[in-house]
Homo-oligomer: A and B are copies of this chain.
């Protein structure tokens, strides 16, 4: 079974690598990073290069599609290779999924019209503008449509574990979870804007302006 993870300039690395690390543990899944051109793409800040191993044209019928997010998504919401590929591959996939602002890409492709979906907490309005109905939920599944969206950045790990259960069974999902020792112990209860102070959100704004 082929899992194709989209890669593009100014993507968020963990959006892609979270699901990658879970799914690559499962022997019947083959993973490939797909992009507009073979070769390196750089994350938002340029600090990290990831390799695209196949072009979108070379992977026309993947079984599973994972679309990560990142600042780079804003460049092609009016249409572009990632959006076109998500739309074109969707009818043949077992699941088409997104992490973080990757749901903006699925929405831009018309796949989320009128459906509930999740995204990074900072962009529900943009998701709504693209035709979806944003909800505050870590993972939103529409199994009848074979569509799954996950919330911001780290949520792709939760999604991917659930996803292994859907593709195989609960034992496989738990195996992947224990292999990556996903026994989270965040040092703070600060995973969502609803649970942090105004001071923290001011710092978020400051940091995001300096580096986003």
Contact = CB atoms under 8 A, between A and B. Distances in A.
29 contacts: A24-B211, A26-B211, A27-B207, A27-B211, A30-B47, A33-B49, A40-B40, A48-B51, A100-B181, A121-B178, A139-B185, A151-B181, A152-B181, A153-B182, A154-B182, A155-B181, A155-B185, A157-B184, A157-B186, A158-B185, A171-B200, A172-B207, A175-B203, A178-B190, A179-B208, A182-B190, A182-B191, A183-B186, A184-B191
A161 B183 contact: no
Nearest to A26: B207
B193 A178 contact: yes
A179 B153 contact: yes
Nearest to A43: B24
A12 interface: yes
Interface residues of A, number: 73
Contacts of A171: 199-200, 203
Given A31-B47, A45-B24, A211-B25, A178 B196 contact: yes
Interface string A18-47: 101100111100111100000010011101
Q: How many copies does the complex hold?
A: 2
A193 B170 CA distance: 15
Given A200-B171, A207-B27, A211-B27, A152 B180 contact: yes
A12 B22 CA distance: 11
Contacts of A10: none
A181 B154 contact: yes
A17 interface: yes
